[in-house]
């Protein structure tokens, strides 16, 4: 590695706390080359000198490093948890101060706007909620404030949901003004000990799919910041790959919600708190994503449970993917993959099974295996938009912009065809 590239990597590690094995070895050189072209330099050492002496150039380099890949209601269960949490803790208790929620990082706004919609659906009025959203990237924050999105950001959403919360414009789908107004965007760094200094603490902090990219020291600093910003009885929601083993947080609800609270004093973990009762039937929110197409029916008590015949092979195979998702949510990736294999053995290869295997491998940090599974999913179903979007992101991560663009075009075409079929 050249001396210039070493200096650039040190700058980014200092600012972003990146774990090079998590982001991929080629990400820093690609970002540096892109900025060199932008400023008209062809010598890496000269560019390293420029970056070291220019705060504006460091910010531009950081912006180049960020490759956002998010969509509305990404992983449904955290938002379902938030909806129920708000209904029980705030809607049912109108004398409480407003619910405060933080989304960090917030990318182009998909997550904080999803939070705003979830709270609206919970029945919590705008005056009784405060949503702050933080990101290190200035261009992403500018996009987020505009509230404009492509169909890519709304993958899996029903036409009814889109019609309720978005306006179609020549530039794209714009989030409706009442939702846009209730999200407050800020530029900030999760590693900055002064982040949001002076702000009241938050009842819920979404900090998803970012801890995995930090080196150990930066991860500790980020969690210390989260601990400072979170209310004493607050809830931290992380991503599926952001395991919190060894931290002061412990699971507080069903595994798929990724909701955590602080451990009790003395290090003894609190028992997981069950989700509050499900809300009454909702409008478009219940259609979001594959996991929320229908509310689960209440389980009968043991005394009421009717006798049922043993499940046949087909039923067992159908439940294998549900078990795989459950094990993956708990971080038991090997068991989750074994359930997927059982499904394939019983029912034969399917796009759904291989897509889920790809997601599990990705959560475990095995990118090559994830890509292989996503490709198999697309081979079996060329219109599988989620697998296509996943392949686009993986291509982006290894610097193959042409392949990434091709996968995104195919995925967006699949989404348009799906919307037409449902319309």
In whole angstroms, what is the distance from residue 149 CA to residue 134 CA? 18
Element (H, E) at 360: helix 351-363
The answer to whether 407 and 395 are in contact (CB under 8 A) is: yes
Cβ atoms of 233 and 247 closer than 8 Å: no
What's the CATH code, domain 314-422? Answer: 1.25.40.10
What pLDDT shows up at residue 396?
Answer: 67
Whole-angstrom distance, CA of residue 191 vs CA of residue 171: 34
For 214, which DSSP code?
A: B
Q: Could you give the CA distance from residue 171 to residue 306 in angstroms, rounded to a whole number? A: 55
Yes or no: say if 383 and 391 are a contact pair by the CB < 8 Å rule: no
Q: What strands lie across the sheet with 148-149, from one edge to the other? A: 148-149, 172-175, 166-169
Give the three-state DSSP class for 399: coil
Phi and psi of 134, rounded to 5°? -130, 140
Task: Report which secondary-structure segment, H or E, holds 237.
Answer: strand 230-237
How high is the pLDDT of residue 176?
95
Q: 143: burial class by Cβ within 10 Å (0-12, 13-18, 19+)?
A: middle
For 268-289, give the DSSP string.
PPPPPPPPPPPPSPPSSGGGST
CATH superfamily label, 76-262: Vaccinia Virus protein VP39 (3.40.50.150)
pLDDT tens sequence for the chain (423 residues): 577 777 777 777 777 776 655 556 677 788 888 888 888 888 888 888 888 888 788 878 877 776 566 789 988 889 999 999 999 899 999 899 999 999 999 989 999 999 999 999 989 999 999 999 999 888 889 999 999 998 888 887 888 889 999 999 999 999 999 999 999 999 999 989 999 999 999 999 999 888 877 888 888 899 999 999 999 999 999 987 677 766 688 887 766 788 999 876 554 444 444 444 444 333 333 333 333 333 333 322 222 223 333 344 444 444 788 888 877 766 678 888 999 998 888 888 899 999 989 888 877 768 888 899 999 999 899 988 888 887 877 776 666 778 878 887 887 787 677 656 655
Q: Which helix (H) or strand (E) holds 251?
A: strand 249-251
Query: Which pLDDT score, from 0 to 100, does residue 421 have?
Result: 65
Fold matches, 76-262 and 314-422: no
Can you give the residue ranges of every domain in the chain? 3-65, 76-262, 314-422
Please list the residues that pair with 103 across neighbouring strands: 133, 206
CA pair distance 267, 250, nearest whole angstrom: 10
* Spatial separation of the C-alpha atoms in residues 50 and 52, rounded to whole Å: 6
């Amino acid at each position: 590695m050249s001396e210039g590239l070493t200096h650039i990597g040190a700058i980014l590690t200092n600012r972003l706390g990146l774990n090079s094995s998590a982001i991929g070895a080629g990400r820093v050189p690609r970002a540096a080359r892109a900025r060199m072209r932008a400023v008209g330099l062809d010598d890496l050492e000269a560019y390293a000198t420029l970056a070291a002496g220019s705060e504006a150039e460091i910010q531009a380099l950081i912006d180049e490093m960020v490759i956002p890949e998010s969509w509305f209601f990404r992983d449904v269960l955290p938002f379902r948890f938030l909806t129920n949490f708000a209904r029980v803790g705030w809607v049912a208790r109108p004398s409480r101060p407003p619910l405060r929620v933080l989304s960090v990082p917030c990318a182009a706004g998909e997550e904080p706007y999803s939070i705003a919609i979830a709270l609206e659906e919970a029945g919590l009025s705008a005056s009784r909620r405060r949503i702050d959203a933080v990101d290190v990237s200035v261009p992403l924050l500018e996009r987020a404030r505009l509230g404009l999105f492509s169909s890519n950001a709304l993958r899996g959403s029903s036409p009814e949901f889109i019609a309720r919360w978005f306006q179609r414009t020549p530039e794209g789908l714009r989030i409706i003004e009442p939702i846009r107004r209730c999200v407050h965007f800020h530029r900030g760094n999760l590693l900055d000990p002064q982040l949001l200094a002076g702000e009241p603490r938050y009842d819920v902090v979404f900090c998803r799919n970012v801890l995995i990219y930090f080196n150990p020291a930066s991860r500790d600093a980020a969690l210390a910041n989260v601990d400072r910003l979170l209310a004493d009885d607050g809830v931290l929601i992380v991503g599926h790959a952001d395991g919190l083993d060894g931290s002061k947080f412990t699971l507080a609800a069903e595994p798929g919600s990724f909701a955590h609270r602080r451990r009790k004093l003395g290090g003894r973990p609190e028992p997981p708190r069950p989700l509050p009762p499900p809300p009454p039937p909702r409008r478009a929110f219940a259609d979001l994503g594959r996991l929320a197409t229908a509310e689960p029916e209440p389980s009968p008590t043991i005394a009421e449970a009717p006798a049922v015949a043993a499940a046949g092979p087909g039923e067992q195979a159908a439940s294998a993917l549900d078990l795989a998702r459950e094990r993956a949510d708990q971080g038991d990736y090997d068991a989750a993959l074994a359930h997927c294999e059982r499904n394939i053995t019983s029912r034969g290869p399917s796009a759904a099974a291989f897509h889920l295997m790809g997601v599990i491998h990705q959560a475990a940090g095995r990118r090559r295996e994830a890509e292989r599974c996503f490709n198999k999913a697309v081979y079996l179903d060329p219109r599988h938009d989620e697998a296509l979007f996943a392949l686009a992101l993986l291509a982006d991560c290894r610097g193959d912009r042409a392949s990434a663009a091709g996968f995104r075009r195919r995925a967006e075409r699949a989404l348009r065809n799906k919307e037409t079929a449902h319309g």
